[in-house]
Amino acid sequence: MSKKLRGAVVGVGYLGKFHAQKYKNNPNVELVGVCDHFPAQADKIAMELGVKSFHKPQDLIGHVDLVTIAASTLSHFELAKMFVENGVHVNVEKPITATVPQAEELLALAAKKNVKVAVGHIERFNPAINDLQKHLKNPKFIELNRMAPYNKRGSDVSVLHDLMIHDMDLLFWLTGSEIESMTGTGTKLISKELDTASVSFKMKNGMQVMINVSRVSPVAQRSIRVLQDDCTLWAQTGTLELEKVVPGPGGDEFLTVTKWSVEKADALQRETDAFIDCVLNDKQPVVTGLDGLKALKAIEDVQRMIEG
């Protein structure tokens, strides 16, 4: 292309500023500017990146072809709707919106306007998970663990919408199946919303999945364990370490343990590049708006189940 796509990031707090940096790294996009609810924050990040500061998202209309929305979850719908209505392609941080009806309305509008909506389920771009997927062969059981120390950022929503939403997207992606039934519990310890949850899922293809999440853990942990007929697989998705345990002949106690690490990759850069590529080459996003809606619907089902 002789002319670059014009991009911007709306919401440049802790996470949003990294999104803006990734746009700057992509040769197919000109980062037109950044926007934030707090003008001083927009000015600060704009100065660091050498771009224009916008204090109102609507002022970006006419100046951008695509945007990433990394503002608070509660503002996702109104922001995304405004850009979609004006023909701007949107990459929305997870969860896609605060509620299912909002997501459904947004996607209906995007279809009408022929605008692309991608959702920032970044774990799809995690190199450890990508490598683990290559070893999956009729898994029987998958356990996903995501633990983090308490951080006020993100506490405006439950741990389900903040953390488990990542694993819900992985649940559908790794199993290739739909949920048949679920059971589980959760607790409120610090915030007014759920801070921990453990949920067991039975999938329609017979697979069992366990998801454990906590945002009040003393240590951070992100891992996946897979049980299948020929082996057990482990992936530490934060440290990018993997392990494969194969039983000995006849299933006796003699085991073969193989450990390896995958090369570190910038998952957020990969996510950003994939979004830009789908707009540039008119392709389907890696994580579609429908994927985001599906994960959000399941999270709302989990919340209703836990809260009775």
Domain boundaries, the chain: 5-122+267-288, 124-263+299-307
**What is the rounded distance in angstroms from the CA atom of residue 185 to the CA atom of residue 10?**
35
Q: Which residues of 266-276 are buried (b: 16+ CB within 10 A; e: fewer)?
A: ebbbbbbbbbb
Instruction: Show the tokens assigned to 88.
Output: 């701007």
Question: How many Å apart are CA 233 and CA 243, to the nearest integer?
Answer: 6
pLDDT of residue 1: 45
124-263+299-307: CATH homologous superfamily? Dihydrodipicolinate Reductase; domain 2 (3.30.360.10)
Predicted pLDDT at 80? 98
Taking the alpha carbons of 212, 218, 219, 220 in that order, is the dihedral positive or negative? positive
pLDDT at 249: 74
Q: Digits of tens for pLDDT over the chain (308 positions)?
A: 457 999 999 999 999 999 999 999 999 999 999 999 999 999 999 999 999 999 999 999 999 999 999 999 999 999 999 999 999 999 999 999 999 999 999 999 999 999 999 999 999 999 999 999 999 999 999 999 999 999 877 667 899 999 999 999 999 999 999 999 999 999 999 989 999 999 999 999 999 999 999 999 999 999 999 999 989 999 999 999 999 999 877 666 778 899 999 999 999 999 999 999 999 999 999 999 999 999 999 999 999 999 98
User: At a CB cut-off of 8 Å and minimum separation 6, what does 290 contact?
Assistant: 107
Listed in sequence order, the residues at least 6 apart from 282 whose beta carbon sits closer than 8 Å to its beta carbon are: none
Nearest residue to 141 (alpha-carbon basis) of 243, 226, 205: 226
Tokens of 125: 């771009």
The SS3 call for residue 149 is: coil
pLDDT score recorded for residue 255: 85
Q: What local confidence, expressed as pLDDT, does residue 18 receive?
A: 98
CB atoms within 10 A of CB 125: 21
Could you please state the CATH topology (level 3) that the domain comprising 5-122+267-288 is classified under: Rossmann fold (3.40.50)
Could you tell me which residues come within 8 angstroms of residue 38 by beta carbon, excluding any fewer than 6 positions away?
none
Chain centre to alpha carbon of residue 234 = 21
- Structure-token match 């919340």, residue found: 303
Question: In the beta sheet, which residues pair with residue 210?
Answer: 143, 200
CA distance 29 to 6: 6
- pTM here? 0.94
Q: Distance between the two ends of the chain, CA-based, in angstroms?
A: 54
How far is it, in rounded angstroms, from Cα 237 to Cα 230? 22
Q: Which residues partner with 89 through β-bridges?
A: 66
Provide the pLDDT for residue 250: 66
Residue with tokens 């292309």: 1
- In 3D, which of 59, 87, 89, 92 has the Cα closest to residue 75? 92
Name the region of 259 (left: φ>0; alpha: ψ -120 to 50; beta: rest): beta
Measured CA to CA, the distance from residue 181 to residue 207 in angstroms comes to: 11
Distance between CA atoms of residues 136 and 152, nearest Å: 36
Instruction: Give the Å distances, CA to CA, from 240 to 49, 84, 205, 277.
Output: 30, 36, 29, 26
Q: Which two tokens stand for residue 280?
A: 């540039």
Task: Check residue 127 and give its pLDDT.
Answer: 98
